[in-house]
Amino acid sequence: MNVKMIVGSVVVLVFLGFGAYSFMDSNVEYTDIAGAMAKNKKVQLKGTWNKEKESAFNPSTSQFTFYLVDDAGRECKVVLDGAAPNNLEMATSVVAKGKFTSDGYFHASEVLTKCPSKYEATGAEVTGKQS
């Protein structure tokens, strides 16, 4: 067999392996707090920010800490690497990507927020009925 064919085949296989690994790493499932605690892998935790509990940015560690409540009413501490998202105050829901640590908190690498849209219509506008 030709040496160029062997080297080309190895390069293609390496790129296919890297592509498969990257896809599996980016494929992160949604779960609640109980599911995230049971899994020892990166997940997406959906819930709301508990504004009644303390939230703060620690400049020495560059981490933002807040509390998230999932749809089942369970609560956990979330530590985000970096500052708080700009629109966290207006957010109707929050998605934290990360995993639980042995210290009992959710270590997030990214936090996404969903804010109410100024373009969403009210119920009367959708149905065409005025009250």
pLDDT per residue as tens, the chain (131 positions): 688 888 889 999 999 988 888 776 666 788 888 888 888 888 999 999 999 999 999 999 999 999 999 988 999 999 999 888 888 888 889 999 999 988 889 999 999 888 776 666 565 555 555 55
| Assigned superfamily of 29-114 | Nucleic acid-binding proteins (2.40.50.140)
Using CA atoms of 111, 39, 107, 98 in order, give the dihedral in degrees to the nearest 10: -30
pTM exceeds 0.85 for this model = no
**Within its chain, how far is the Cα of 66 from the centroid?**
14
- Give the list of residues 6+ apart from residue 72 with CB closer than 8 angstroms, or none: 32, 33, 34
